Structure 1
Protein backbone atom coordinates (compact mmCIF):
# COMPACT_ATOMS: atom_id res chain seq x y z
CA UNK A 1 0.00 0.00 0.00
CA UNK A 2 1.20 3.49 -0.78
CA UNK A 3 -0.64 6.72 0.01
CA UNK A 4 0.27 10.28 -0.95
CA UNK A 5 -1.54 13.58 -0.62
CA UNK A 6 -2.18 15.81 -3.63
CA UNK A 7 -1.62 18.66 -1.17
CA UNK A 8 2.05 17.54 -1.07
CA UNK A 9 2.59 16.68 -4.75
CA UNK A 10 5.67 15.05 -6.22
CA UNK A 11 5.70 17.78 -8.88
CA UNK A 12 3.99 21.10 -9.49
CA UNK A 13 3.98 22.66 -12.95
CA UNK A 14 3.06 26.32 -13.23
CA UNK A 15 1.99 27.88 -16.51
CA UNK A 16 0.17 31.11 -17.43
CA UNK A 17 -3.25 31.19 -15.75
CA UNK A 18 -2.92 27.80 -14.10
CA UNK A 19 -0.94 24.95 -12.63
CA UNK A 20 -0.94 21.19 -12.25
CA UNK A 21 0.03 19.16 -9.21
CA UNK A 22 1.17 15.60 -9.89
CA UNK A 23 1.40 12.56 -7.62
CA UNK A 24 2.94 9.31 -8.85
CA UNK A 25 2.11 5.95 -7.33
CA UNK A 26 2.82 2.45 -8.66
CA UNK A 27 0.54 2.05 -11.68
CA UNK A 28 -1.00 5.54 -11.32
CA UNK A 29 -0.02 9.00 -12.48
CA UNK A 30 -2.54 11.41 -10.93
CA UNK A 31 -2.86 15.11 -11.65
CA UNK A 32 -4.97 17.94 -10.34
CA UNK A 33 -5.12 20.85 -12.77
CA UNK A 34 -6.40 24.30 -11.91
CA UNK A 35 -7.20 26.52 -14.89
CA UNK A 36 -8.05 30.15 -14.15
CA UNK A 37 -10.57 32.18 -16.19
CA UNK A 38 -8.94 33.14 -19.48
CA UNK A 39 -6.78 29.98 -19.61
CA UNK A 40 -6.51 28.31 -23.00
CA UNK A 41 -4.13 25.47 -23.86
CA UNK A 42 -2.91 27.07 -27.11
CA UNK A 43 -2.08 30.29 -25.21
CA UNK A 44 -0.83 28.93 -21.88
CA UNK A 45 0.79 25.53 -22.54
CA UNK A 46 1.49 25.27 -26.29
CA UNK A 47 4.93 26.92 -26.10
CA UNK A 48 5.92 24.70 -23.15
CA UNK A 49 4.77 21.49 -24.89
CA UNK A 50 6.16 22.44 -28.29
CA UNK A 51 3.16 21.04 -30.16
CA UNK A 52 0.28 22.79 -31.95
CA UNK A 53 -2.36 20.91 -29.92
CA UNK A 54 -2.34 19.04 -26.62
CA UNK A 55 -1.08 15.53 -27.38
CA UNK A 56 -1.83 14.11 -23.91
CA UNK A 57 -4.42 11.36 -23.46
CA UNK A 58 -6.67 12.50 -20.62
CA UNK A 59 -9.08 10.49 -18.48
CA UNK A 60 -10.56 12.46 -15.67
CA UNK A 61 -13.23 14.20 -13.67
CA UNK A 62 -14.28 17.86 -13.47
CA UNK A 63 -14.53 19.05 -9.86
CA UNK A 64 -15.56 22.64 -10.56
CA UNK A 65 -15.87 25.13 -13.37
CA UNK A 66 -16.39 24.56 -17.07
CA UNK A 67 -13.99 23.52 -19.84
CA UNK A 68 -14.61 23.54 -23.58
CA UNK A 69 -12.59 21.09 -25.71
CA UNK A 70 -12.09 21.20 -29.48
CA UNK A 71 -10.63 18.15 -31.19
CA UNK A 72 -8.33 18.24 -34.22
CA UNK A 73 -11.31 17.28 -36.44
CA UNK A 74 -13.26 20.35 -35.23
CA UNK A 75 -15.71 18.53 -32.97
CA UNK A 76 -16.34 20.26 -29.62
CA UNK A 77 -17.80 19.44 -26.21
CA UNK A 78 -18.18 21.28 -22.94
CA UNK A 79 -17.37 19.65 -19.60
CA UNK A 80 -18.68 20.70 -16.20
CA UNK A 81 -18.80 19.62 -12.56
CA UNK A 82 -19.44 15.91 -12.13
CA UNK A 83 -18.45 15.00 -15.69
CA UNK A 84 -16.16 11.99 -16.13
CA UNK A 85 -14.30 12.21 -19.43
CA UNK A 86 -11.81 10.82 -21.89
CA UNK A 87 -10.10 13.20 -24.31
CA UNK A 88 -7.78 11.75 -26.95
CA UNK A 89 -4.56 13.43 -28.07
CA UNK A 90 -4.95 16.28 -30.54
CA UNK A 91 -7.11 18.90 -28.83
CA UNK A 92 -7.31 22.47 -27.59
CA UNK A 93 -9.21 23.42 -24.44
CA UNK A 94 -10.23 26.60 -22.64
CA UNK A 95 -12.06 27.77 -19.53
CA UNK A 96 -15.65 28.86 -20.04
CA UNK A 97 -16.95 31.58 -17.71
CA UNK A 98 -15.52 33.39 -14.70
CA UNK A 99 -14.92 30.42 -12.39
CA UNK A 100 -11.65 28.45 -12.25
CA UNK A 101 -11.87 24.93 -13.63
CA UNK A 102 -10.43 22.15 -11.48
CA UNK A 103 -9.91 18.82 -13.25
CA UNK A 104 -8.55 15.53 -11.93
CA UNK A 105 -6.58 13.41 -14.42
CA UNK A 106 -6.25 9.66 -13.76
CA UNK A 107 -5.25 8.54 -17.23
CA UNK A 108 -1.56 9.29 -17.38
CA UNK A 109 -2.10 12.60 -19.19
CA UNK A 110 -0.42 14.29 -16.24
CA UNK A 111 2.86 12.48 -16.87
CA UNK A 112 4.13 14.88 -19.52
CA UNK A 113 1.58 17.68 -19.22
CA UNK A 114 3.13 21.16 -19.30
CA UNK A 115 6.67 19.77 -19.49
CA UNK A 116 9.07 20.88 -22.19
Structure 2
Protein backbone atom coordinates (compact mmCIF):
# COMPACT_ATOMS: atom_id res chain seq x y z
CA UNK A 1 0.00 0.00 0.00
CA UNK A 2 1.11 3.52 -0.73
CA UNK A 3 -0.98 6.54 0.18
CA UNK A 4 -0.13 10.24 -0.07
CA UNK A 5 -2.17 13.20 1.14
CA UNK A 6 -1.56 16.94 1.26
CA UNK A 7 -2.29 18.72 4.58
CA UNK A 8 -3.01 21.96 2.70
CA UNK A 9 -6.09 20.16 1.27
CA UNK A 10 -7.60 18.69 4.45
CA UNK A 11 -10.44 16.18 4.47
CA UNK A 12 -11.95 18.03 7.36
CA UNK A 13 -11.69 21.28 9.29
CA UNK A 14 -13.16 21.54 12.77
CA UNK A 15 -13.48 24.88 14.54
CA UNK A 16 -13.68 25.19 18.31
CA UNK A 17 -13.35 28.10 20.74
CA UNK A 18 -9.87 29.65 20.42
CA UNK A 19 -8.72 27.38 17.61
CA UNK A 20 -9.24 24.87 14.85
CA UNK A 21 -8.11 21.48 13.60
CA UNK A 22 -7.45 20.47 10.00
CA UNK A 23 -6.98 16.79 9.27
CA UNK A 24 -6.28 14.31 6.52
CA UNK A 25 -7.34 10.69 6.93
CA UNK A 26 -5.17 7.88 5.61
CA UNK A 27 -5.42 4.14 6.11
CA UNK A 28 -4.47 3.58 9.76
CA UNK A 29 -3.30 7.17 10.33
CA UNK A 30 -4.86 10.54 10.87
CA UNK A 31 -2.63 13.58 10.53
CA UNK A 32 -3.90 16.78 12.08
CA UNK A 33 -2.68 20.33 12.21
CA UNK A 34 -4.09 21.95 15.34
CA UNK A 35 -3.94 25.69 15.90
CA UNK A 36 -4.54 26.81 19.47
CA UNK A 37 -4.95 30.57 19.79
CA UNK A 38 -3.92 32.53 22.90
CA UNK A 39 -6.49 31.81 25.60
CA UNK A 40 -7.17 28.23 24.43
CA UNK A 41 -7.45 25.62 27.17
CA UNK A 42 -8.69 22.08 26.66
CA UNK A 43 -10.70 21.98 29.91
CA UNK A 44 -12.58 25.15 28.94
CA UNK A 45 -12.84 24.96 25.15
CA UNK A 46 -13.10 21.22 24.36
CA UNK A 47 -14.21 19.45 27.57
CA UNK A 48 -17.85 20.61 27.41
CA UNK A 49 -18.26 18.96 24.00
CA UNK A 50 -16.11 15.92 24.83
CA UNK A 51 -18.05 15.15 27.99
CA UNK A 52 -14.90 14.17 29.90
CA UNK A 53 -12.93 15.97 32.61
CA UNK A 54 -9.64 15.58 30.75
CA UNK A 55 -8.52 14.80 27.20
CA UNK A 56 -8.75 11.06 26.58
CA UNK A 57 -6.75 10.99 23.34
CA UNK A 58 -3.17 9.82 22.87
CA UNK A 59 -1.02 12.38 21.05
CA UNK A 60 2.18 12.01 19.04
CA UNK A 61 3.01 15.61 18.34
CA UNK A 62 5.47 18.12 16.96
CA UNK A 63 5.14 21.77 17.94
CA UNK A 64 5.96 24.07 15.01
CA UNK A 65 5.02 27.40 16.58
CA UNK A 66 4.27 28.78 20.03
CA UNK A 67 4.13 27.03 23.40
CA UNK A 68 1.79 24.52 25.01
CA UNK A 69 1.59 23.59 28.70
CA UNK A 70 0.44 20.02 29.42
CA UNK A 71 -0.73 18.77 32.83
CA UNK A 72 -1.41 15.07 33.28
CA UNK A 73 -4.21 13.82 35.55
CA UNK A 74 -1.53 12.47 37.94
CA UNK A 75 -0.22 16.03 38.43
CA UNK A 76 2.93 15.77 36.32
CA UNK A 77 3.33 18.60 33.83
CA UNK A 78 5.62 20.08 31.22
CA UNK A 79 5.77 22.76 28.59
CA UNK A 80 6.57 22.14 24.93
CA UNK A 81 7.54 24.67 22.30
CA UNK A 82 8.56 25.07 18.68
CA UNK A 83 10.82 22.21 17.62
CA UNK A 84 9.77 19.85 20.44
CA UNK A 85 8.46 16.36 19.70
CA UNK A 86 6.21 14.84 22.36
CA UNK A 87 4.11 11.83 23.26
CA UNK A 88 1.18 12.38 25.61
CA UNK A 89 -1.02 9.63 27.04
CA UNK A 90 -4.77 10.02 27.61
CA UNK A 91 -5.73 11.87 30.78
CA UNK A 92 -4.45 15.43 30.48
CA UNK A 93 -5.34 19.11 30.20
CA UNK A 94 -3.38 21.54 28.02
CA UNK A 95 -3.34 25.25 27.29
CA UNK A 96 -1.61 27.80 25.10
CA UNK A 97 1.14 29.77 26.82
CA UNK A 98 1.75 33.40 25.89
CA UNK A 99 0.41 35.66 23.16
CA UNK A 100 1.40 33.56 20.14
CA UNK A 101 -0.79 30.81 18.61
CA UNK A 102 0.51 27.29 19.20
CA UNK A 103 0.57 25.05 16.13
CA UNK A 104 0.89 21.31 16.65
CA UNK A 105 1.22 18.53 14.08
CA UNK A 106 -0.38 15.41 15.54
CA UNK A 107 0.21 11.93 14.14
CA UNK A 108 -2.33 9.53 15.58
CA UNK A 109 -4.16 6.33 14.80
CA UNK A 110 -7.72 7.70 14.68
CA UNK A 111 -7.50 10.84 16.88
CA UNK A 112 -8.37 13.43 14.24
CA UNK A 113 -11.69 11.80 13.37
CA UNK A 114 -13.11 12.34 16.87
CA UNK A 115 -11.09 15.10 18.56
CA UNK A 116 -13.22 18.12 19.55
CA UNK A 117 -16.44 16.49 18.39
CA UNK A 118 -19.41 16.63 20.70
CA UNK A 119 -20.03 13.29 22.38
CA UNK A 120 -23.58 12.03 22.78
CA UNK A 121 -24.85 13.09 26.16
CA UNK A 122 -22.22 15.83 26.62
CA UNK A 123 -23.66 18.81 28.45
CA UNK A 124 -21.69 21.53 26.73
CA UNK A 125 -22.25 23.42 23.50
CA UNK A 126 -21.63 22.00 20.10
CA UNK A 127 -18.10 22.26 18.71
CA UNK A 128 -18.11 22.97 15.00
Q: Is the 8 A contact 1:33 1:102 kept in 2?
A: yes
Between the two proteins, the alignment pairs up a number of residues equal to: 116
Tell me the equivalent position of 2:12: 11
Match of 2:49 in 1: 48
What is the match of residue 94 of structure 2? 93
Spell out, residue by residue over 1:16-39, the C-alpha distance to the aligned partner (whole angstroms, 9 max, x if none): 000001101112111100000000
CA apart distance, 1:107: 2.0
Matches within 5 A, 1:71-110: 71-108=72-109, 109-110=111-112
Distance across 2 between alignment mates of 1:110 and 1:92: 17
Q: Provide the rounded CA distance (Å) in 1 between the counterparts of 2:49 and 2:7.
A: 23
Structure 1 unaligned segments of length 5 or more: list them: none
| 2:68 equivalent in structure 1 | 67
1:115 corresponds to = 117
Query: What is the rounded CA distance, in whole Å, between the counterparts of 1:104 and 1:50 in structure 2?
Result: 24
| Structure 2 residue ranges without an equivalent (≥5) | 119-128
Determine the C-alpha separation between the residues in 1 that align with 2:108 and 2:60: 4
Residue 49 of structure 2: SS of its match in structure 1?
Answer: helix
Paired position in structure 2 for 1:29: 30
When normalised by structure 2's length, the TM-score is 0.87
Contact 1:30 1:104 in 2 (8 A): yes
Contact 1:40 1:94 in 2 (8 A): yes
